[in-house]
Chain A
Amino acid sequence: MPTTYIQPEFRVRIDYDKCHKCGRCVQQCGWGVYSFNERPIPDDAKCKACHRCVTFCPAHCISIEKSPLAYRDNDNWSPSLRKAVWRQAETGGVLLTGMGNDKPYLRIFDHLVLDACQVTNPSIDPLREPMELRTFLGRKPDSVAVEADADGGWRLADGGGMENNVELEAPIVFAPMSYGSVSLNVHKSMAMAASRLGILMNTGEGGLHADLYPYADNIIVQCASGRFGVTPEYLNRGAAIEIKVGQGAKPGIGGHLPGEKIDNEVSRTRMIPQGTDALSPAPHHDIYSIEDLRQLIYALKEASGYKPVGVKIAAVHNVAAIASGIVRAGADYIYLDGFRGGTGAAPTIIRDHIGIPVEIAIAVVDQRLREEGIRNQASIVAAGSIRSSADMAKAIALGADVVAIGTATLMALGCHLCQQCHTGCCSWGITTQKPELTRRVDPEWGAERLVNLVHAWSHELQEILGALGVNAVESLRGSRERLRSIGLDEQTCRVLGVKPAGL
């Protein structure tokens, strides 16, 4: 019997006429595709199409092709479903994957378009006029009091109720990705970039490594169900604290960092023994209700001198009511993670079939909080596949204050979306703890690329705002009148609060 029925997905082609026989492909591949016998010899079955070898081949002689192997047409049984059944019959295991949901569900962002000014209302040129992207993350006051200043004018009294807000220079934060799931160099890149950009990174649930302490003013520290590395010191270092309840890629599922990824440094940062699995229970066992959530929010505030506390949830069916409860529980921001959000490891079946799109979640949460008169009490952070500055602008127009980017962040550092994060063999040195691989991301280089990415998106957002004829991102927030839909059904338009194009 063959050991597997599953045939290679890709074909590695080497043009040996051009090949230098330098062996760099052998050295670069984290999957062990290549052996070397006078020339590199690929094993197609191991290739993940991550393009590391292609990128580093000095002779440009490697190409990766999709396997032309034909499967008999069957719309019901796609080749991927067939392969899943074979794999499970071989192993009896739950199938794991990395990155976000890649199934062909409707992408609502791609069916929304933005407005622009023509004739009746002038557009603004952001190159010549001020264009404000500054955003404040946290609870805003219910009302504003003013007092006379020394110059005979007026100013906000008592700081205007904004003391517990975190100031961001752009409405972008790096999404939570734990040290352990990604490498320390990735964390350093994000921390340095966040500090230079005046935005925030997020530790994820794996604790805060000592090397990141200098950047702590630009770091959100996370408290998840495993409570890894959560000490009074940790809570007091961060700019804000986030309770992680759920993740878009795996709503209702706990985390499970395999023992292979728990090396000495990860062990020290998470404060757990080396080599044991780091299991995050599916729920927080001290949160079984909104009242319990309130108790944890205020415990974190008591322990940290009343820092802002946010709550991250996966976007699920009843998200608006849940969000209302979270705001009433005292959260300073809600983080909504849509069903296309990425992950370092999730059961494929969960990733691909649970949760709702973030576009819907933003719209219904913003609407619900407005109807209840509590929208000012918490900021909304939206994530779950923000792929460009256009997605960012549309998310803000639907009602988000800030977007979080995870997959795009890793792509800036080299990620090619091969979806193998859970294996710990990342050839790009991102989702691995192997020292020979992690050194491929130099933090200084990484920080520069992340700064470039956020600057580019910020400039594009300014252009979009200018076209809309507004001079601050605040003026776009929740302004669904500036969105129109193309090709969305009436019901979805109503849920989004967006008119079809032409109306």
Chain B
Amino acid sequence: MSITSTGPMEGYRKAAPDVAVDGKTAVIDAKGVYYRQLNQAVRAAFADGATTVRLNDVNGQRYIGTGLTGAGRRIEVHGTPGNDLGMFMDGPTVEVFGNAQDGVGNTMSGGRVVVHGDAGDVLGYGMRGGVVHIAGDVGYRVGIHMKAYEGLRPIVVCGGKARDFFGEYMAGGLLVLLGTRTQFPDQPIVGSFVGTGMHGGVIYLRGGVEPWQCGKEVGIFTADEDDLSRLRPILEDHCGAFGLDLADMMSVPFTKLVPTSHRPYGKLYAG
């Protein structure tokens, strides 16, 4: 028997979705539409001159905003988008009114993602630009190998708590974990192996972290005035996105994690 690895999954329509255009806004009914047709419709709507695309009844469709470019473009997602939301994206804004799944902002180059809910694993992997705001909790391997380059400096702010490997291999950018809006009030703000192999960038945590939770490449400091003045506009942005109080957010001391070396494995090799 030959099993083909293409074609839509069961339960999805292969047909293009219904699109209603209202001025510069295109409204797409995503119910039952396979991701490929849905994303085609999104790209077509932008190509036809829309600046905002509103997706209703989204239920697990992958790759929304993936590879999309153009700074003035905006996607509103109502429902639960699937994995790799905004992957490789460079410019547009994606706002999710619901939870997001794995791979949000994966290898993203620029733009903005706002999730009014929780997000899953591998958030912001290899991200090199743009901003991601998550209202609630995030999963494992968040911010792995984020990197910065010249004017590009990725920023990820998570309002809830995170699991293990937060900021592992981090090479640049800014990773902020607030721990305030969480489903897990009794757990520590972050899991283990924080910043393992980190060789660039900064991690800020609201409150404290135990040294055993962190990788050995990480130095742990209390955020000083300079740090807080750098954090303020970013938290202002975050609080603005979710209607939170900035003064309240900054009323607790922050912990700063930075790598102790830009070349953690410089002395590992010989000959």
Residues of A at the B interface (CB closer than 8 Å) are: 87-88, 90-97, 142, 225-227, 230-233, 235, 256, 258-259, 267, 271-273, 275-277, 279, 281, 285-286, 294-295, 298-299, 302-304, 327-330, 347-348, 373-374, 377
Contacts and interface: CB of A to CB of B under 8 A. Distances in A.
A256 B102 CA distance: 27
A295 B171 contact: no
B263 A259 contact: yes
16 contacts: A93-B270, A225-B145, A227-B107, A227-B125, A230-B88, A233-B90, A258-B263, A258-B266, A271-B152, A273-B200, A276-B199, A276-B263, A298-B62, A299-B84, A302-B67, A330-B6
Interface residues of B, number: 54
Contacts of A94: 268-270
Contact of A328 (B3, B103, B125): B3
B39 interface: yes
List the 3 closest A-B pairs by CB distance, nearest first.
A303-B67, A93-B270, A227-B126
A500 to B, nearest CB: 34
A96 B271 contact: yes
B197 A303 contact: no
Contacts of B229: none
A317 to B, nearest CB: 24
B87 A95 contact: no
A287 to B, nearest CB: 10
B214 interface: no
B148 interface: yes
B202 to A, nearest CB: 14
Contacts of B89: 232
A267 B149 CA distance: 8
A88 B271 CA distance: 9
A298 B88 contact: no
Contact of B88 (A225, A267, A303, A347): A303
Nearest to B39: A302
Nearest to B102: A286
Contacts of A298: 62-63
B126 A230 contact: yes
B163 to A, nearest CB: 13
B125 A285 contact: yes
Nearest to A285: B144
Question: Most chain-A Cβ atoms within 10 A of its Cβ — which of B3, B106, B149?
Answer: B149
B172 A273 contact: yes
Nearest to B149: A271
Contacts of A225: 145
A348 B270 CA distance: 10
Nearest to B127: A227
B67 A232 contact: yes
Given A95-B270, A231-B90, A285-B122, A279 B107 contact: no
A273 B268 contact: no
Interface of B: 1-6, 35-36, 39, 62-63, 66-69, 83-84, 87-90, 102-103, 106-107, 109, 122, 125-126, 128, 141, 144-145, 147-149, 152, 168-169, 171-172, 197, 199-200, 262-271
Contacts of A302: 35-36, 39, 63, 66-67
Contact of A327 (B5, B63, B141, B172): B5
A276 B262 contact: yes
A178 to B, nearest CB: 16
Contacts of A304: 67
Nearest to A297: B5
A295 B62 contact: yes
Given A95-B271, A256-B265, A286-B122, A232 B62 contact: no
A286 B125 CA distance: 8
A275 B103 CA distance: 29
Contacts of A256: 265
B109 to A, nearest CB: 5
A277 B261 CA distance: 10
Contacts of B141: 285
A490 to B, nearest CB: 32
A294 B126 contact: no
Question: Most chain-A Cβ atoms within 10 A of its Cβ — which of B126, B172, B265?
Answer: B126
Contacts of B267: 93
B40 to A, nearest CB: 9
Contact of B84 (A87, A227, A295): A295
Contacts of B35: 302
A259 B261 CA distance: 12
Contacts of B268: 93-94
B75 to A, nearest CB: 14
Given A279-B197, A279-B265, A96 B145 contact: no
A272 B125 contact: no
Nearest to B148: A273
Contact of B106 (A286, A330, A377): A286
A330 B265 CA distance: 36
A272 B149 contact: yes
B67 A271 contact: no
A329 to B, nearest CB: 7
B114 to A, nearest CB: 20
Contacts of A348: 271
A273 B88 CA distance: 20
Contacts of A281: 144-145, 169, 197
Question: Most chain-A Cβ atoms within 10 A of its Cβ — which of B66, B89, B270?
Answer: B270
Given A281-B169, A294-B5, 9 more contacts: A94-B270, A226-B126, A227-B125, A232-B69, A232-B88, A258-B263, A259-B262, A299-B63, A303-B63
Given A91-B271, A96-B269, A230-B88, A277 B149 contact: no
A2 to B, nearest CB: 17
A371 B172 CA distance: 47
Nearest to A327: B5
B84 A142 contact: no
A276 B67 contact: no
